[in-house]
């Protein structure tokens, strides 16, 4: 260890103080007229810009940052982002000429930060590689390209029927306790080794819930490529309001820069990012609180008129960049909580109309044991089909329609018992396919396993297996295929399609497994 | 703004236009600092005469013309316009006096020599007279802070030390 001498301390101090800018400059100052509920009304600051970062200097010299929101004739309305109690009437406020920025970089991976990018996990300071503005114009048409790569969530019902592509915005919507967060967490866990950086933004949640999510991600080794941005229920409304924007800004750093930290381009590819906003209903509530205390006029459900714009400008930042821009992507998985399944409320309809599809989760399915409780009838993905691998398209192409037909028949069959053979067969197939799609929590499946399992169902291999044995059959079949016929999954992964030869091998392997499978267990 | 014009006219007659601007600032600051005072003065459920009496009692040493104008504002339920009055009065007073008002904050009181230096330098820059509104604030430790029309130049020792603190705590 190097010896510490008085001279070396002196040198270090001198070197650091050399960087100190002692020039005196004129800055615009205002005075806090009134403060309360995290909102400050400021006299002066005639030159303040909308969304500008303001510096509040408390009596004790403590600096608290704020965000200029309302620019009125005589005063400026601002929201405080830090310790609200440190600021009082008559305290000074300065403009900074900057908008709010968050630090980002590889040092953030595996860390839990607040919406200002400050660590809250007790693991010490984070070395940032750069900063990104919290508010940023979404890329235009020319800078983008079509979504063409999949985000594998590892959930069979989603990857087969509601596929999500890199750069897509797919809404996860449902009542409380229907497994919305579980789907997002599964998607993060399944991204291991898939060149995807994940950002999980927790908005207005209990700190204990966030701690559980972090613990789960750590348990599955997913924190190595994940950043958690948390504005918990005890944080101020402005912090909850900027949390999703801070999350996307942290993610954009990776997308707009290559692995070397330099701007991405055709030679220096940008990285792929998955952003989960859990959930935007709470962000909208925080924004409503902020707007009402700023005395902005309330609109439907007392939300301000620009709550649609708030969500649309956030979700427009999800993008698949063109090759010239590095071909990076940012996929958005916003979460919306509904009340008693009411999707026609203001915020759910807004976000449904903004996103490229939605995954509906239903309480009744959840309690029937259908987990994940995805209602595949009304869930859609508008662009993800282009991102599905061909093998999945081959086996799951008609799955949605088959299951829809099954549900229709199932409702009809409840009225009578005399059904023809074709109808009985269809009902049998439907109930088995539904059973096949059941999947445990935090048990994502690789895409090749999904293809093989759906293949077995589609080809009728499950038709004579009792419904209660389907889950076990699926698990044991996949185990058998991995152990005895690894060349099949290798071929699916390599060719990304099911060739006639692979189909034959797979059918043959399933027949062989079925011969040894015992229904009794 | 009629209140500002009337106040300036009355203050000019007494020759206290500049002093009144300082008192108006101090009054504005006191009202902002005390929620109880602010709410009581603007409370319409209380008789105007009571609120006026309270104002005169709290700000007893202030210019009588200022207290009369504020009393009228209370009677007409216009007390919320205090900030506007202060801002407009200062602009009108500067025009009437042909001078720019600059707030000067120091840790100890200015001596005559420094006062003259500051006045001469700013007069040369602005091309008009300069009126220094002096304030002593020991927390700035040393140096000087100048502000006028919402612009502030902070050359205090306290702010330089704060910059040094930030440089030392954030650099690696």
Distance from the Cα of A110 to chain B's closest Cα (Å) equals 21
Q: Do A19 and B164 touch (CB under 8 A)?
A: no
Q: Which of A24, A60, A124 to mutate to test the interface with B (most CBs of B within 10 A)?
A: A24
Contacting residues of A for B164, CB less than 8 Å apart: 17, 20
- Between β-strands A171-174 and A357-361, what pairing exists: parallel, antiparallel or unpaired? parallel
Q: Which of A34, A36, A90 to mutate to test the interface with B (most CBs of B within 10 A)?
A: A90
Lowest mean pLDDT among A15-24, A64-73, B30-39, B65-74: A15-24
Interface of A with B (CB under 8 A): 13, 16-17, 19-22, 24-34, 43-46, 61, 74-75, 88-90, 92, 94, 127
pLDDT per residue as tens digits for the range A9-40? 777 777 777 766 667 777 888 989 888 888 99
* Interface predicted TM-score (ipTM) over 0.95: no
Q: Which residues of A12-40 are buried (b: 16+ CB within 10 A; e: fewer)?
A: eeeebeeeeeeebeebbbbbbbebeebbb
Contacting residues of B for A33, CB less than 8 Å apart: 32, 83
Mean pLDDT of B50-70: 91
Q: Do B154 and A74 touch (CB under 8 A)?
A: no
Low-confidence ranges of chain A (pLDDT < 50): none
Closest to A96 measured CA to CA, from A60, A47, A23:
A47
Q: Name the residue with higher pLDDT: B159 or A466.
A: A466
Query: Given this model, what pLDDT does residue A85 score?
Result: 87
Residue B32 has pLDDT above 80, yes or no: yes
Contacting residues of B for A75, CB less than 8 Å apart: 83
* Tokens found for residue B130: 């300069």
Query: Given this model, what pLDDT does residue A490 score?
Result: 94
No. of helices (H) and no. of strands (E), chain B: 8, 4
* Tokens found for residue B49: 């005469």
Contacting residues of A for B151, CB less than 8 Å apart: 26-29
Residue B59 has pLDDT above 70, yes or no: yes
Closest to A355 measured CA to CA, from A115, A199, A162, A142:
A162
Residues 6+ positions from A372 with CB-CB distance below 8 Å: A155, A157, A158, A179, A182, A183, A361, A439
For the annotated catalytic residues of A, the residue numbers are: 382
Q: Do B152 and A45 touch (CB under 8 A)?
A: no
For chain A, what percentages of helix, strand and coil (3-state, to nearest 5) are there? 40, 20, 40
Number of Cβ pairs closer than 8 Å across A and B?
Answer: 59
Query: Given this model, what pLDDT does residue A401 score?
Result: 86
Q: Do A26 and B153 touch (CB under 8 A)?
A: yes
Nearest-CB residue to B150 (from A13, A28, A74): A28
Distance from the Cα of A45 to chain B's closest Cα (Å) equals 7
Q: How many CA atoms lie within 13 A of A301 on its CB side?
A: 16
Q: Is B169 in the A-facing interface, judged by CB distances under 8 Å?
A: no
Query: Given this model, what pLDDT does residue A83 score?
Result: 83
């Amino acid at each position: 260890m190097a010896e510490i001498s008085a001279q070396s301390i002196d040198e270090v101090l001198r070197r650091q103080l050399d960087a100190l800018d002692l020039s005196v400059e004129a800055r615009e100052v205002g005075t806090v007229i009134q403060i309360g509920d995290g909102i400050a009304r400021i006299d002066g600051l005639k030159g303040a810009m909308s969304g500008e970062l303001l510096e509040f200097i408390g009596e004790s010299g403590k600096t608290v940052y704020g965000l200029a929101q309302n620019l009125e004739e005589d005063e400026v309305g601002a929201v405080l982002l830090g310790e609200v109690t440190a600021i009082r009437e008559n305290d000074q406020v300065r403009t900074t000429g900057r908008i709010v920025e968050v630090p980002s970089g590889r040092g953030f991976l595996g860390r839990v930060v607040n919406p200002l990018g400050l660590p809250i996990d007790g693991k010490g300071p984070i070395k940032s590689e750069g900063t990104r503005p919290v508010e940023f114009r979404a890329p235009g048409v020319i800078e983008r390209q079509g979504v063409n790569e999949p985000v594998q969530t590892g959930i069979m019902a989603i990857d087969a029927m509601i596929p999500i592509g890199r750069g897509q915005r797919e809404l996860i919507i449902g009542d409380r306790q229907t497994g919305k967060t579980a789907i997002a967490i599964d998607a993060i866990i399944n991204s291991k080794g898939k060149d995807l950086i994940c950002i999980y933004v927790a908005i207005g949640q209990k700190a204990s819930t966030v701690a559980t999510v972090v613990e789960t991600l750590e348990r599955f080794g997913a924190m190595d490529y994940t950043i958690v941005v948390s504005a918990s229920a005890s944080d101020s409304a402005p912090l909850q309001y900027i949390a999703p924007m801070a999350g996307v800004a942290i993610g954009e750093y990776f997308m707009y820069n290559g692995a070397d930290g330099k701007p991405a381009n055709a030679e220096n590819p940008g990285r792929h990012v998955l952003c989960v906003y859990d959930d935007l209903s709470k962000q909208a509530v925080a924004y409503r609180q902020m707007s009402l205390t700023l005395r902005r006029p309330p609109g439907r459900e007392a939300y301000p008129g620009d709550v649609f714009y708030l969500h649309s400008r956030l979700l427009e930042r999800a993008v698949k960049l063109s090759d010239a821009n590095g071909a990076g992507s940012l996929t958005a998985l916003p979460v919306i909580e509904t009340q008693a399944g009411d999707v026609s409320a203001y915020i759910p309809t807004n976000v449904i109309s903004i996103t490229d599809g939605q995954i509906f989760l239903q309480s009744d399915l959840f309690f029937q044991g259908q987990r994940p409780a995805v209602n595949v009838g009304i869930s859609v993905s508008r662009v993800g089909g282009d991102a599905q691998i061909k093998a999945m398209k081959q086996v799951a192409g008609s799955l949605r329609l088959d299951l829809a037909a099954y549900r229709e028949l199932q409702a009809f069959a409840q009225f009578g018992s005399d059904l023809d053979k074709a109808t009985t067969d269809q009902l049998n197939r439907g109930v088995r396919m539904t059973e096949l799609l059941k999947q445990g929590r935090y048990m994502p499946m690789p895409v090749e396993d999904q293809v093989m399992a759906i293949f077995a169902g589609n080809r009728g291999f499950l038709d004579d297996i009792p419904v209660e044995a389907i889950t076990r059959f699926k698990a044991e079949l996949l185990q058998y295929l991995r152990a005895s016929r690894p060349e099949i999954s290798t071929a699916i992964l390599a060719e990304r399609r099911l060739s006639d030869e692979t189909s034959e091998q797979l059918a043959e392997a399933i027949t062989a497994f079925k011969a040894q499978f015992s229904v009794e267990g | 703004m009629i209140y500002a014009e009337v106040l300036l006219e009355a203050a000019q007659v007494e020759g206290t236009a500049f002093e009144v601007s300082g008192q108006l600032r101090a009054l504005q600051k006191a009202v902002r600092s005390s929620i109880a005072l602010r709410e009581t003065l603007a409370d319409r459920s209380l008789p105007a005469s009571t609120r006026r009496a309270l104002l005169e009692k709290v700000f007893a040493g202030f210019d009588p013309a200022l207290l009369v104008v504020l009393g009228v504002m209370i009677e007409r339920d216009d007390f919320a316009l205090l900030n506007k009055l202060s801002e407009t009065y200062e602009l009108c007073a500067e025009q009437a006096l042909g001078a720019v008002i600059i707030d000067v904050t120091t840790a100890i009181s200015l001596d005559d020599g420094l006062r003259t230096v500051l006045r001469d330098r700013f007069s040369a820059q602005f091309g008009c007279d300069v009126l220094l509104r002096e304030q002593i604030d020991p927390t700035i430790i040393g140096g000087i802070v100048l502000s006028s029309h919402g612009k502030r130049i902070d050359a205090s020792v306290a702010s330089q030390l704060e910059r040094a603190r930030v440089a030392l705590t954030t650099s690696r």
